[in-house]
C-alpha cells in the first residue's frame, strides 16, 4: 500500500511534468501558428461575418484554450471592430448569424447601436438564424436582429420572442424540513437577495419592483422591434404575445424579410454588395489611423463578482476579473502614467464584497484626485457593489437595459444544527471568548451577536447611501427612496439620477472629450490597463502552472515517502540562544 501511494504521487508528478514540457512545445507551436493566422492579408473588398454564440463575454478571457480556438472576442471587441469596419473602405457589408445567440438587454442594445453606426455608412447588413429562440427567450436577440437591413430565417425555424419572465425558487419550507435555519437579514425591502431562503414567496414590495423592471425592459424591446422593422408598437406587442411565430407567419407579419438557408442569405448579401470575399470578425483588425498626438485614455475592464484580493494565478481566469487587487493595480498604473489623461471604467457586475468595493471606490477617487477624470460605463449589470464602485465617477453611462442600482446590503448565515441532529452528526466545540465562532453554522447567534449584526447592516447601508448621495449629488432626503435595494433599468436609473447618459463606449468617449475640454472631433487613443496578454504569454502562464503543480506533488511525495516507508520524520532542531 505504501509503495502504491508513493508510486501514485510519482506518477502524477511525471504526468504534470510531461504535460508541462509537451504542452509547452505544442502550445508554443500552436499559438505561434495562431498568431500568424490571426492577422491574414485582407482582400481589398470584403464582407465581415460573425456567428454569435450565447452572449459575448463582458471582458477578455485569459483562457489559453479559448485563445487557441479564437473564441475570445468580448462584447467590446465586437463593437469596436464593427465601428472600425464602418470607417474602413475595404469592408462592404456585415453578415451576422444569430442561430445560437442569446443576448441580454444591455448587450443587444450595445450591439444595436454599433449596427446602426455601420448602416449609417450605407453598408448593407444581413441577419440570419436557422431558428431564433427554439425554446423561447429570444426577445432581445431578435430586437437586435431587427436593426439589420434584411432578416433571414430558415424555413423550419421560428421566432421565440415570448417576452421576459423572472422565476426563482423559494426554499424556506424545504430548508425547515431538513433542519436548516436561515439567519439572514437585508436592507431593505427591495433587495431581494435572501428572500428565497426566508420567505414562502415574493413579497408585495419585491413583486411590484420586479414587475416594473420587466415591464420597462419589455417596453424597450418593443420599441427596438417597432423601429427596426418599421411596424407599429401595437404590432410588435402582438407578435410577442403570440410567439413562437413560424417562419412563414413571420414573413407575413413583416418580422423577417425572407425564408432561406445560411448560404442563401450570404449569397444575397454578396450579390447586393457586389463583393464575394468574406472575412470573419475574429480575423479582422481595425486599421490604426490615429495620429501619435492622440490623447491616451486608459480603459479598465472589470466583470464578474467583486472580490477581495489580487487577480490570482489561475491560467483560466478572466483578465477582466473584478478582483480588487487587479482593478486597483490597473488604476494605479494609469494614474502613474503621465501620458494617460483620463480613465474609462467598464463595469459588468452584480455586486459582491463590500470591503472589495470600498477598496476599488478609493482607487477611483485617487485617480480623480490626481487630476484624471473617470467615466464609468456599465454593461449587463452594475448593481450593488458594481454600482458602489461607479458612484464617485465624474460621469456614469449605462444602456437602457442595464440592471443597476440595488443600493442595499444583505448578509448572515445558515444554522445547520437541526440538519446535524437529523443526520446523527455531533460536533465537539471549544472556544475562548464570548463571541468566538459567531459565524459558525453550528450554532445560532446570541441576542448580543444578532444586535451587532443588525448594527453592521445599518452601518453599511448608511455608508452606501451616503457615498452615492455625495457622488451623484442627490439630497439625502431623496436618497433612501432611490435606494432600499431596488434594481433599476438603466433608463429608469437615469430618470432617478443614478446615471448621467444612456449608451456605451461611444458615449463614454464623448463624455471624456467634454471632461478634458477637447473639441468633439478630437481623437482619443484607448489603451487597455493592464495591457492584455498575448497568446504566447498566456501559454507560458498555463505551462508554468502545470510545472508548479508537478513541483508541489513531488514535494508532497518527498515528505511522505519516509513516513510511508516506516522511517522517522523528525529532524535535528537548531536552537538559537
Predicted confidence (pLDDT) at residue 112 exceeds the cutoff of 70: yes
pLDDT at res. 37:
47
CA–CA distances in Å: residue 189 to residues 168, 388, 406, 462: 17, 19, 11, 15
Give the ranges where 425-503 is alpha helix by DSSP (H): 447-472, 476-482, 490-496
Assess whether pLDDT exceeds 70 at residue 432.
Answer: yes
Of 262-271, 296-305, 422-431, 533-542, least confident by mean pLDDT is 533-542
Lowest model confidence (mean pLDDT) among 121-135, 224-238, 281-295, 300-314: 300-314
The pLDDT score that the predictor gives to residue 480 is 92
- CA atoms of 260 and 79, how far apart (whole Å): 27
pLDDT the model gives residue 134? 83
Which pLDDT value is given to residue 568?
41
pLDDT digits (tens, 9 = 90+) for 17-64: 555 555 554 454 455 444 444 556 889 999 999 999 999 998 766 555
Q: Where are the domains of the chain?
A: 1-38+535-569, 45-162+243-283, 172-202, 295-408+484-528
Over residues 68-107, the pLDDT tens digits come to: 544 568 999 999 999 999 999 999 999 999 999 999 999 9
pTM of the full predicted structure? 0.85
- Strands (E) in 196-294, as ranges, are 245-246, 258-259, 278-280
* Contact between residue 343 and residue 394 where contact means Cβ atoms under 8 Å apart: no
Evaluate if residue 221 carries a pLDDT over 50: yes
The band of 561, judged by pLDDT with boundaries at 50, 70 and 90, is: low
45-162+243-283 shares its CATH topology with 295-408+484-528: yes
- pLDDT of residue 118 exceeding 50, the answer is yes
- Give the residues across from 183 on adjacent strands: 413
The whole-number average pLDDT for the span 355-367 is 97
* CATH number of 45-162+243-283, picked from 1.20.1630.10, 3.40.30.10, 3.40.190.10, 3.90.226.10: 3.90.226.10
What span, in angstroms and rounded, lies between the C-alpha atoms of 463 and 460? 5
Q: What percent of the chain has pLDDT over 70?
A: 81
* CATH architecture under which domain 295-408+484-528 falls: Alpha-Beta Complex (3.90)
Closest by Cα among 100, 62, 103 to 79: 103
Q: In angstroms, rounded to a whole number, what is the distance separating the alpha carbons of residues 45 and 564?
A: 70
Give start and end residues of each alpha helix (H) in 390-534.
Answer: 417-423, 447-472, 476-482, 490-496, 505-515
Question: Rounded CA gap, 24 and 458, in Å?
Answer: 53
Which is more confident, 574 or 431?
431
pLDDT at 551 over 80: no
Q: How far apart are CA 453 and CA 438, in angstroms?
A: 10
Beta carbons within 8 Å of 142's beta carbon, 6+ residues apart: 98, 132, 133, 159, 161, 225, 255
User: For cell 426566508, what's the residue?
Assistant: 198
Q: Are residues 398 and 381 in contact, defined by beta-carbon separation less than 8 angstroms?
A: no
Q: Contact 92/45 with Cβ under 8 angstroms?
A: yes
Is 250 a residue whose pLDDT tops 60? yes
Residue 190: what are its φ and ψ, rounded to 5°?
A: -95, 0
- Cell matching residue 293: 498626438
pLDDT for 465-496, tens place per residue?
999 999 999 999 999 999 999 999 999 999 99
Cell numbers for 325, please give them.
Answer: 487587487
Using DSSP's 3-state secondary structure scheme, residue 46 falls into strand
- CA–CA gap between residue 490 and residue 493 (Å, rounded): 5
The pLDDT value recorded for residue 573 is 40
Q: Is the pLDDT of residue 577 over 50?
A: no
Helix axes 535-564, 2-38, angle to 10 degrees: 180
- For residue 575, the model assigns a pLDDT of 39
User: Average pLDDT for residues 362-380, to the nearest whole number?
Assistant: 97
With cut-offs at 50, 70 and 90, classify the pLDDT of residue 361: very high
Average pLDDT, the chain: 87
Pairing of strands 181-187, 409-415: antiparallel
Least confident residue range of 31-45, 230-244, 497-511: 31-45
- pLDDT category, 570, cuts 50, 70, 90? very low
The arithmetic mean of pLDDT across residues 199-226, rounded, is 95
pLDDT exceeds cutoff 70 at 316: no
Looking at residue 552, its pLDDT comes to 61
Amino acid at each position: 500500500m505504501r509503495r502504491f501511494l508513493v508510486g501514485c504521487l510519482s506518477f502524477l508528478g511525471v504526468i504534470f511534468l510531461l504535460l508541462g514540457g509537451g504542452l509547452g512545445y505544442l502550445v508554443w507551436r500552436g499559438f505561434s501558428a495562431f498568431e500568424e493566422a490571426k492577422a491574414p492579408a485582407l482582400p481589398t473588398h470584403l464582407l465581415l461575418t460573425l456567428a454569435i454564440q450565447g452572449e459575448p463575454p463582458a471582458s477578455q478571457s485569459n483562457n489559453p484554450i479559448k485563445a487557441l480556438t479564437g473564441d475570445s472576442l468580448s462584447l467590446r471587441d465586437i463593437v469596436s471592430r464593427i465601428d472600425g469596419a464602418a470607417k474602413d473602405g475595404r469592408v462592404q457589408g456585415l453578415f451576422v448569424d444569430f442561430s445560437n445567440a442569446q443576448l441580454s438587454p444591455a448587450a443587444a442594445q450595445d450591439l444595436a447601436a454599433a449596427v446602426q453606426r455601420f448602416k449609417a455608412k450605407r453598408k448593407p447588413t444581413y441577419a440570419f438564424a436557422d431558428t431564433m429562440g427554439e425554446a423561447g427567450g429570444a426577445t432581445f436577440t431578435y430586437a437586435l436582429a431587427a436593426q439589420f437591413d434584411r432578416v433571414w430565417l430558415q424555413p423550419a425555424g421560428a421566432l421565440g420572442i415570448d417576452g421576459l419572465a423572472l422565476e426563482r425558487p423559494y426554499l424556506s419550507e424545504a430548508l425547515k424540513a431538513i433542519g436548516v435555519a436561515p439567519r439572514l437579514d437585508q436592507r431593505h425591502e427591495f433587495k431581494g437577495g435572501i428572500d428565497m431562503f426566508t420567505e414562502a414567496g415574493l413579497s408585495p414590495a419585491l413583486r411590484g419592483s420586479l414587475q416594473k423592471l420587466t415591464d420597462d425592459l419589455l417596453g424597450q424591446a418593443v420599441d427596438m422591434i417597432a423601429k427596426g422593422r418599421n411596424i407599429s408598437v401595437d404590432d410588435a406587442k402582438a407578435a410577442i404575445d403570440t410567439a413562437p411565430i413560424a417562419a412563414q407567419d413571420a414573413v407575413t407579419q413583416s418580422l423577417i424579410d425572407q425564408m432561406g438557408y445560411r448560404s442563401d442569405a450570404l449569397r444575397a448579401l454578396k450579390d447586393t454588395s457586389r463583393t464575394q470575399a468574406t472575412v470573419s470578425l475574429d480575423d479582422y483588425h481595425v486599421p490604426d489611423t490615429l495620429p501619435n498626438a492622440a490623447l491616451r485614455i486608459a480603459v479598465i475592464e472589470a466583470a464578474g463578482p467583486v472580490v477581495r484580493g489580487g487577480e490570482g494565478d489561475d491560467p483560466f481566469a478572466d483578465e477582466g476579473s473584478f478582483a480588487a487587487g487587479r482593478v486597483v493595480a490597473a488604476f494605479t498604473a494609469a494614474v502613474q502614467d503621465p501620458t494617460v489623461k483620463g480613465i474609462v471604467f467598464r463595469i459588468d457586475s452584480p455586486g459582491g464584497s463590500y470591503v472589495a468595493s470600498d477598496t476599488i471606490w478609493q482607487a477611483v477617487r485617487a485617480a480623480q484626485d490626481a487630476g484624471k477624470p473617470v467615466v464609468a460605463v456599465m454593461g449587463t449589470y452594475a448593481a450593488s457593489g458594481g454600482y458602489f464602485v461607479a458612484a464617485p465617477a465624474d460621469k456614469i453611462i449605462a444602456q437602457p437595459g442595464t440592471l443597476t442600482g440595488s443600493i442595499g446590503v444583505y448578509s448572515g448565515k445558515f444554522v445547520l444544527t437541526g440538519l446535524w441532529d437529523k443526520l446523527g452528526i455531533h460536533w465537539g466545540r471549544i472556544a475562548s471568548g464570548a463571541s468566538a465562532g459567531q459565524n459558525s453554522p453550528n450554532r445560532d447567534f446570541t441576542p448580543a451577536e444578532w444586535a451587532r449584526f443588525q448594527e453592521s447592516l445599518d452601518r453599511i447601508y448608511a455608508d452606501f447611501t451616503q457615498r452615492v448621495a455625495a457622488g451623484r449629488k442627490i439630497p439625502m432626503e431623496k436618497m433612501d427612496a432611490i435606494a432600499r435595494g431596488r434594481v433599476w433599468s438603466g433608463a429608469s436609473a437615469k430618470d432617478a439620477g443614478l446615471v448621467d447618459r444612456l449608451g456605451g463606449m461611444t458615449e463614454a468617449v464623448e463624455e471624456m472629450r467634454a471632461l478634458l475640454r477637447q473639441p468633439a472631433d478630437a481623437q482619443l487613443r484607448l489603451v487597455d490597463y493592464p495591457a492584455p496578454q498575448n497568446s504566447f504569454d498566456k501559454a507560458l502562464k498555463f505551462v508554468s502552472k502545470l510545472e508548479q503543480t508537478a513541483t508541489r506533488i513531488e514535494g508532497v511525495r518527498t515528505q511522505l515517502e519516509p513516513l510511508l516507508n516506516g522511517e522517522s520524520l523528525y529532524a535535528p532542531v537548531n536552537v538559537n540562544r
